[in-house]
């Protein structure tokens, strides 16, 4: 069965590259003595946190199988009725 492993790999790799570049930029700015913008600091923290969460919790899953399609001969799908015709229709929610 196909899994979502390739999508997980692409997303995790992209976030890893972005996180490494942001951390590298912050290091470069610190070496040059330039103040780190708070937006870059927030972005870096979010990327590193997202990468950590993905590497800890993410695992591939199998794709769900779609139900069989109804018959194509135009006949309606058979339905099993649970209520008897003499039973009243429920109008209140059960608590």
pLDDT tens, residue by residue, 46-72: 999 998 888 776 666 666 666 666 556
Collapsed DSSP state (helix, strand, coil) of residue 72: coil
For residue 34, the number of C-alpha atoms closer than 13 Å in the C-beta half-sphere is 10
| pLDDT for the residue numbered 71 | 56
Nearest Cα residue to 48 out of 16, 13, 26: 16
Residue 61: other Cβ atoms inside 10 A: 11
Cα 49 to Cα 30, 31, 36, 88, distances in angstroms: 21, 24, 19, 55
Q: How confident is the model at residue 59, as a pLDDT? A: 65
């Amino acid at each position: 069965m196909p899994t979502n492993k390739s999508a997980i790999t692409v997303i995790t790799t992209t976030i890893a590259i972005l996180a490494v570049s942001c951390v590298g930029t912050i290091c470069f700015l610190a070496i040059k003595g330039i103040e780190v913008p708070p937006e870059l600091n927030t972005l870096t923290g979010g990327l590193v946190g997202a990468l950590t969460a993905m590497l800890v919790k993410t695992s591939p899953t199998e794709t769900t199988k779609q139900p069989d399609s109804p018959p194509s001969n135009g006949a309606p799908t058979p339905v099993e009725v649970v209520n008897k015709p003499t039973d009243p229709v429920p109008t209140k929610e059960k608590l």
